[in-house]
Amino acid sequence: MVREFKLPDVGEGVAEGEIVRWLVEEGEEVSEDQPVAEVETDKAVVEVPSPVNGSVKEILAEEGEVVPVGNVIVTFEVEGEAGTESGEDEEPTESQEQVSEEPADIGGEPAITEADDDAGADAEPETPSGRVFAPPHVRRLARELGVEIGSVEGSGPSGRVTEGDVREAAESDDDEESKGPKQFDTELKSATRKRGEDREEGEAAEPADRERTLAAPATRKLAEDEGVDLNRVPATEERDGEAFVTPEAVREYAEAQREAQAADAEALAATGREGEREERDEREERVPYRGIRRTIGTQMANSKFTAPHVTHHDTAEVEGLVGARADLKARAEEQGTRLTYMPFVMKAIVAALQEYPELNASLDEEAGEIVRKNYYNVGIAVATDAGLMVPVVKNVDEKGLLQLAEEVEELAGKARDRSISREEMQGGTFTITNFGAIGGEYATPIINHPEVAILGLGELAERPVAENGEVKAAHTLPLSLSIDHRVVDGAEAAGFTNRVMEYLENPLLLLLD
Amino acid sequence: MVVGDIATGTDVLVIGAGPGGYVAAIRAGQLDLDVTLVEKDAYGGTCLNHGCIPSKALITATGVAHEAANAEEMGIHADPAVDMGGMVEWKDGVVDQLTGGVEKLCKANGVNLVEGRAEFADGNTARVAHGGEGQGSESIEFEHAVVATGSRPIEIPGFEFDGEHVLSSREALSLDSVPDSLVIVGGGYIGMELAGVFAKLGTDVTVVEMLDEALTGFSDDLAKPVIDNMEELGVEIRLGEAASEWHETGDGISVTTETEDGEETGHDCEKVLVAVGRQPVTDTLNLEAIGLEPDDGGFLATDDRARTDVGNVFAVGDVAGEPMLAHTGMAEGQVAAEVIAGEPAALDHQAIPAAVFTEPEIGTVGMTPEEAEEAGFEPAVGEMPFRASGRALTTGHTEGFVRIVADAESGFVLGGQIVGPEASELIAEIGLAIELGATLEDVAATIHTHPTLSEAVNEAAENALGHAIHTLNR
């Protein structure tokens, strides 16, 4: 038996995913829970596991393709169950069709076997009187996405419109819009072409001109809805010597008219647009703005335009820190751990946060409450090839320097090779961004909303420092603290930064806690 | 605005706390809108106070008495004594519990409750006149208004409701004693439901209907089991007779009816109940002030978002036109609130169920076979008579049948008609099937509990597919 596998909703609110890589090939044997594909959503890259033991029958989405959640991406041939290909077996019963355990079957619709699919292609999805068969949640989704549900071709049993169909239609609408003047639904067009004979695209059917046309009342209504004059529709039958028009003929005629109009519009716009595109193609490269890049963009804009940012700058003189790290580094290495400055900074921040809890908080705007966190999960912004990712080190206050060093390294590595899970990037209470690792002194970090503060670290380097009227060279660490001024005031920001500096200048103080 | 009068501001003003209005108010409250709900009479509207709930309470209570008295076949011999006062008191308790519940729910969802009668002053202001002397009035400024003022029983000339001799359904549901004899004018569903109630209480009931059939709007095969049962209960149904006048006699009244040919008949009785339909209440709202005009029937035209022609004014429930059903009002109320809150809601329901609480009950949803054909489908029809249902036999009610209508080509369920025990409940399954785009196979392959009446729905679907087990296939 053939099992269809739909792209599951791999994360909260995720509407689509890009197939990054197929991990299996057609014909390959797979076992339940074996990863079959890597899918990049706007949150993370995840592996999608097989729901069954069997073999891969057909891969239906290409690598790089963006697929709406709910669309079938692969089919499996399941061993030990009745096959449907022979054509000799009975139609599967409803209970066989239902893939009850399959987490991906989010719509709860029965999976369709190939046999059903074929039947669906033969049976016209259009129904009399323009009735569309779609459950209420799909209708609502269509309204949400601005999709006219009547124009969506259903891929469900007997042409029922599914969530995936609507998402796909929304996607193709978006594409249409970005290309220029809105055209008519391509799905609808192809459905018509199956029936339409050898008509060239854009060529309108020759209109008939009669004075009297016979048709059923439902057909007349259809013509009215489609804005078609029945007397102009070529008649397919005769009744009592008069032309008789079927709903089929009305639809075909209406579609042909639309195609002709669209072709006209296309022809008008074509010349200028083509030239423009060619020129642009030579000098520009267009990269799709989606996936993690788009998520970063949305997050940044959301944070910047929601939280009034104020950035407080200062510089810590960190000879003490440099010395402490130098003392401990060799010991750490003996234990197989590379000790950077980051664990010290994390400990200093947590110690300061314990004194300034208003910076370890978030704003629940809906409830009108400031949520102070009595736990310390520190996010570390990591630059990756895909863009900025923020793994979170949990419960920093409960961990020692070595453990922190190991966790930071492990999480940063996972972020860079994109094997990090969504859970490992969630639950942060405060964020550090270390732009100094690349070079530079001060910046304005954007808060990792809905947190209320972020500390940016400049480059730890030797700089001139004045002391008792003398200028000397000393190691300094520039700090840039951005705060959400709705929740945190400047005085608190300065107080917090001063405490962080104190701990960085005298790391021994951390031992007092 | 009255000089010195300070208007209260609100996001949403809902006028009328019936099923349409209170649902709109609660939903709007849930969506964080500031809502003010104005009610002139009692929370819950006609449905809870004077319609669905009290009538169903009395239908159930009289049904219990009637069943007990007629259960010899089951070996039960009883002669129940009905205390009408006690029955009405119980019914009032049910009503109070529900109306109190509505009030609590409104408050819990942050709805501001205002008692009084509201009318529009201009496109953003309404005045609310409080009941009682010296109670004054207040102005409410609104962003959006939802008109949910419901409907009232229609009076016919010469039969003004007086609460003594000429009753509306509202008064009939509050009688403290059982009338010896009753003429019911109108053979629609309200008239027939109440005819059943009073016949079971021992009243001598005559139904006079101007048209040539009772229960118009329902096909003959659905109406027949009901009418047969009425006649068995002793109800006299007189078709083609219009009530023309009434007068007092020595020990009661006499209602005169007239046929089309002018033939007059006098019907002596204790009281006459007029149940010829309901009309929307839109004449108290001063709609001119906002430039809104009801149609000839008094209804407000609305679009699929429950909006009237005036952009910020919505209409839900009976005022928004047929079908005048509480559940339609509730659905409209919900949509109106969500649209106001900017949600993508719309009234795009595929079918609205309806139920008549006669004995046996009637439940309908979606298309009949004829309607399906008219719409261009090739209907596939399946039926299951209740006399073949094990559960129906054990309840002692085997009259009626379940019919399911689908599109033969795709199998999609398009409609259903049920007459028989619990038809009002059973019809919901077919409604769900229609709404979800389920096919006959889906319904047929869904395992139903045995022994239940719902198996008849499953069996009807099997019958439409030609492989019913418990009945002969068509």
**pLDDT per residue as tens digits for the range B279-335:** 999 999 999 999 999 999 999 999 999 999 999 999 999 999 999 999 999 999 999
pLDDT digits (tens, 9 = 90+) for B220-229: 999 999 999 9
Q: How confident is the model at residue A195 (pLDDT cuts 50, 70, 90)?
A: very low
pTM over 0.90: no
- A382 beta partners: A389
Judged by CB atoms closer than 8 Å, whether chains meet at A143 and B346 is answered as yes
Q: Does A473 touch chain B (CB under 8 A)?
A: no
**Tokens standing for residue B410:** 């795709």
> Which distant-in-sequence residues (6+ apart) come within 8 Å of A54 by Cβ?
A3, A29, A30, A76, A77, A78, A79
Judged by CB atoms closer than 8 Å, whether chains meet at A127 and B377 is answered as yes
The pLDDT of residue A45 is: 72
Q: How confident is the model at residue A97 (pLDDT cuts 50, 70, 90)?
A: very low
More confident residue, A37 or B235: B235
- Rounded Cα–Cα distance for residues A384 and A417 (Å): 8
Q: How confident is the model at residue A261 (pLDDT cuts 50, 70, 90)?
A: confident
- Give A-chain residues touching B348 at CB under 8 angstroms: 139
- A362 beta partners: A371, A451
Q: Does A216 touch chain B (CB under 8 A)?
A: yes
Closest partner CB to B375 (pick from A128, A136, A157) = A128
The pLDDT of residue A131 is: 83
Closest partner CB to B435 (pick from A135, A143, A156) = A135
Distance from CA of A174 to the nearest CA of B (A): 19
Judged by CB atoms closer than 8 Å, whether chains meet at A140 and B345 is answered as yes
List all residues of chain A from 411 to 470 with a beta carbon under 8 Å from chain B.
none
- Which residues of B carry out catalysis? 450
- DSSP letter at B354? E
- Mean pLDDT score, A257-269: 74
The pLDDT of residue A64 is: 80
Q: Give the residue from chain B lying closest to A116, CA to CA.
A: B410
- Give B-chain residues touching A94 at CB under 8 angstroms: 441-442, 445-446
Judged by CB atoms closer than 8 Å, whether chains meet at B410 and A133 is answered as yes
The pLDDT of residue B110 is: 95
List all residues of chain B from 358 to 417 with a beta carbon under 8 Å from chain A.
374-377, 407, 409-412
Q: Does A129 touch chain B (CB under 8 A)?
A: yes
Judged by CB atoms closer than 8 Å, whether chains meet at A131 and B436 is answered as no
> Which distant-in-sequence residues (6+ apart) come within 8 Å of A332 by Cβ?
A338, A339, A401, A402, A405
The pLDDT of residue A80 is: 60
- Give A-chain residues touching B437 at CB under 8 angstroms: 133-135, 156, 160-161
Judged by CB atoms closer than 8 Å, whether chains meet at A159 and B375 is answered as no
The pLDDT of residue B160 is: 95
Q: How confident is the model at residue A128 (pLDDT cuts 50, 70, 90)?
A: low
Of B389, B390, B373, nearest to B381 by C-alpha is B373
- Mean pLDDT score, B360-386: 96
Residue A272 has pLDDT above 60, yes or no: no
- Mean pLDDT score, B207-215: 95
The pLDDT of residue A192 is: 27
- DSSP letter at B376? T
Q: Give the residue from chain A lying closest to B411, CA to CA.
A: A158
Residue A262 has pLDDT above 80, yes or no: no
**Tokens standing for residue A329:** 């580094």
Q: Does A144 touch chain B (CB under 8 A)?
A: yes
Q: Does B348 touch chain A (CB under 8 A)?
A: yes
The pLDDT of residue B88 is: 93
Closest partner CB to A129 (pick from B344, B375, B412) = B375
Q: Count of CB atoms within 10 A of residue A199's CB?
A: 15
Q: Of the ranges A280-294, B27-41, B80-94, B357-371, which one carries the lowest mean pLDDT score? A: A280-294
The pLDDT of residue A122 is: 37
**Is A157 in contact with A112 (CB distance < 8 Å)?**
yes
Interface contacts (A, B; CB < 8 Å): 56
Judged by CB atoms closer than 8 Å, whether chains meet at B344 and A140 is answered as yes
- Rounded Cα–Cα distance for residues A118 and A58 (Å): 15
Residue A38 has pLDDT above 90, yes or no: no
Closest partner CB to B375 (pick from A133, A156, A218) = A218
Q: How confident is the model at residue B371 (pLDDT cuts 50, 70, 90)?
A: very high
Q: How confident is the model at residue A184 (pLDDT cuts 50, 70, 90)?
A: very low
Closest partner CB to A158 (pick from B375, B412, B446) = B412
The pLDDT of residue A31 is: 87
Residue A52 has pLDDT above 90, yes or no: no
Q: How confident is the model at residue A102 (pLDDT cuts 50, 70, 90)?
A: very low
The pLDDT of residue B193 is: 97
The pLDDT of residue A198 is: 38
List all residues of chain A from 45 to 84 with a beta carbon under 8 Å from chain B.
none
Q: Does B30 touch chain A (CB under 8 A)?
A: no
Closest partner CB to A135 (pick from B377, B436, B446) = B436
Judged by CB atoms closer than 8 Å, whether chains meet at B374 and A95 is answered as no
Q: Count of CB atoms within 10 A of residue B454's CB?
A: 20
Task: Give residue for tokens 């014909």.
Answer: A27
Q: Does A137 touch chain B (CB under 8 A)?
A: no
The pLDDT of residue A84 is: 37
Query: How far is the CA of A96 from the CAs of A53, A111, A457, A513, in angstroms?
Result: 16, 9, 59, 63
The pLDDT of residue A421 is: 82
Query: How far is the CA of A501 from the CAs of A399, A455, A493, B444, in angstroms?
Result: 21, 12, 12, 73
- Rounded Cα–Cα distance for residues B11 and B142 (Å): 5
The pLDDT of residue A419 is: 80
Instruction: Using DSSP bridges, classify how beta strands A461-467 and A453-457 pair: parallel, antiparallel or unpaired.
Output: unpaired
- Give A-chain residues touching B411 at CB under 8 angstroms: 158
Q: Of the ranges A99-113, A409-423, B106-120, B395-409, which one carries the lowest mean pLDDT score? A: A99-113
The pLDDT of residue A129 is: 60
Residue B442 has pLDDT above 80, yes or no: yes
Q: Give the residue from chain A lying closest to B378, CA to CA.
A: A128
Residue A76 has pLDDT above 90, yes or no: no
**Is A479 in contact with A462 (CB distance < 8 Å)?**
no
Q: How confident is the model at residue A117 (pLDDT cuts 50, 70, 90)?
A: very low
Q: Of the ranges A22-31, B3-12, B94-103, which one carries the lowest mean pLDDT score? A: B3-12
Q: Does A156 touch chain B (CB under 8 A)?
A: yes
The pLDDT of residue A99 is: 34
The pLDDT of residue B30 is: 96
Q: Does A220 touch chain B (CB under 8 A)?
A: no
pLDDT digits (tens, 9 = 90+) for A273-329: 555 555 556 788 887 777 677 778 888 998 999 999 999 999 999 999 999 999 999
Distance from CA of B308 to the nearest CA of A (A): 20
- Give B-chain residues touching A144 at CB under 8 angstroms: 344
pLDDT digits (tens, 9 = 90+) for A389-441: 899 999 999 999 999 999 999 999 888 887 888 788 889 999 999 988 888 89
The pLDDT of residue A225 is: 78
Q: How confident is the model at residue A189 (pLDDT cuts 50, 70, 90)?
A: very low
- DSSP letter at A385? T
Q: How confident is the model at residue B130 (pLDDT cuts 50, 70, 90)?
A: confident
Distance from CA of A42 to the nearest CA of B (A): 24
Judged by CB atoms closer than 8 Å, whether chains meet at B410 and A158 is answered as yes
A103: three-class secondary structure by DSSP? coil
The pLDDT of residue A88 is: 34
Distance from CA of B347 to the nearest CA of A (A): 10
Q: How confident is the model at residue B435 (pLDDT cuts 50, 70, 90)?
A: very high
Judged by CB atoms closer than 8 Å, whether chains meet at B376 and A247 is answered as yes
Judged by CB atoms closer than 8 Å, whether chains meet at A133 and B346 is answered as no
Judged by CB atoms closer than 8 Å, whether chains meet at B375 and A140 is answered as no
- Give A-chain residues touching B441 at CB under 8 angstroms: 94
Of A150, A191, A152, nearest to A168 by C-alpha is A152
Q: How confident is the model at residue A63 (pLDDT cuts 50, 70, 90)?
A: confident
The pLDDT of residue A191 is: 28
List all residues of chain A from 158 to 197 with a beta carbon under 8 Å from chain B.
158-161
pLDDT mean across residues, chain B: 94
- Give B-chain residues touching A128 at CB under 8 angstroms: 375-377
Q: Does B344 touch chain A (CB under 8 A)?
A: yes
| Percentage of chain A lying above the pLDDT 90 cut | 33
- Mean pLDDT score, B332-342: 97
Q: Give the residue from chain B lying closest to A133, CA to CA.
A: B437
Q: How confident is the model at residue A114 (pLDDT cuts 50, 70, 90)?
A: very low
Q: What was the ipTM of the complex prediction?
A: 0.77
Pick among A90, A158, A222 to test the B interface (most B CBs inside 10 A): A158
Judged by CB atoms closer than 8 Å, whether chains meet at A128 and B346 is answered as no
Residue A19 has pLDDT above 90, yes or no: no
Cis amide linkage into residue A135, ω under 30° from 0: no
| Percentage of chain B lying above the pLDDT 70 cut | 97
Residue B81 has pLDDT above 70, yes or no: yes
Distance from CA of B469 to the nearest CA of A (A): 17
Residue A94 has pLDDT above 70, yes or no: no
- Give A-chain residues touching B409 at CB under 8 angstroms: 123-124
The pLDDT of residue A510 is: 87
List all residues of chain A from 235 to 274 with a beta carbon under 8 Å from chain B.
247
Query: How far is the CA of A86 from the CAs of A5, A90, A91, in angstroms?
Result: 21, 10, 11
